Amino acid sequence: MTERSVEVSVVLPAYNEERTIEPIVRETRRALASFLPSDSFEVIVAEDGCEDDTPAIADDLAETFADVRHFHSDERLGRGGALNAAFQTADGDVLVYFDTDLATDIDHLERLVESVRSGEYDVATGSRWMPGSVADRPAKRGVPSLAFNVAVRVLLGSRLRDHQCGFKAFDRSAFEELRPLVENEHWFWDTEMLVRAQRRGFRVEEFAVDWKPREDSKVDLASDIVGMGTQLLRCWWEFSVASRVNRRRSALAGLVIAFAAALVLFYFESR
């Protein structure tokens, strides 16, 4: 029996996706097989403490297809935490993930994979804000997204336009270097990965994608705005301020940030 030589590992982070996970896995396999040898990729369902039938469906898919695996967690790890854990079990040298709502057109998958697989880039990411992108989003999501990305560019010195698009690929060595540095294990994981990648001198490609949001998004706009803002300030403090102040001042600033975040959360919840 010939041992499989996996080059590309695609992780699908899944939380309560019983209605969609099977067609998504099948579509992912189809897309990968259109430009990669059949024995050179694997698809990993990173099932993150689900409360529905997603685990059973993922088990069935892993039994049906030799190139599908199921990573299970009994407890919620968060989006970033689930990706970290699943990537560490992956066999490929190119580590890819995209959101299971397929908001980003899967026709872009070949470019995402080949940007890193070719050795030209260490990290690749889709962008909904670059010229040429097509992103059909309501203003209630578009305005906060644009403001957040501008803030990341200004406060953290990023050169990218879109940090939260759930469509990314990493060279394994780059991922292994970045993973211990990234503190956040939920939504801000994407941004922190990209910012730290740039600061470490990795080659990052950002390219325009077609994107359409899912109606039943799991994003909680109010609380996630507060959470993302807090994490943004944490990184800004680390990169720009922490080395210049003592521990007492850092603790005081942390309390101020936490209090401001609580006020913003109260404002959104009271509306």
- In a domain, residue 3? The reply is no
Is the domain of 35 the same as that of 94? Answer: yes
- In a domain, residue 2? The reply is no
- List the catalytic residues: 190
pLDDT per residue as tens digits for the range 98-111? 999 899 999 999 99
Number of domains in the chain: 2
Task: Give the global pTM.
Answer: 0.86
Is the domain of 113 the same as that of 244? Answer: no
Can you name the residues that pair with 135 across neighbouring β-strands?
A: 211
Is the domain of 254 the same as that of 154? Answer: no
Is the domain of 190 the same as that of 119? Answer: yes
Is the domain of 179 the same as that of 250? Answer: no
Is the domain of 228 the same as that of 162? Answer: no
Is the domain of 75 the same as that of 129? Answer: yes
pLDDT per residue as tens digits for the range 36-82? 998 999 999 998 889 999 999 999 999 999 999 999 988 888 889 99
Tell me the CATH number at 78: 3.90.550.10
Range of the domain at 228: 220-271
- In a domain, residue 132? The reply is yes
Q: What is the pLDDT of residue 265?
A: 57
Confidence of residue 2 (pLDDT cuts 50, 70, 90): very low
Is the domain of 252 the same as that of 266? Answer: yes
Is the domain of 211 the same as that of 224? Answer: no
Is the domain of 192 the same as that of 237? Answer: no
CA–CA separation, 236 vs 157, rounded Å? 9
Is the domain of 39 the same as that of 122? Answer: yes
Closest by alpha carbon to 195, among 230, 239, 229, 237?
239
Q: What dihedral do alpha carbons 161, 124, 221, 48 form, nearest 10°?
A: -170
Is the domain of 166 the same as that of 139? Answer: yes
Q: What is the pLDDT of residue 140?
A: 73
Helix axes 21-33, 109-117, angle to 10 degrees: 60
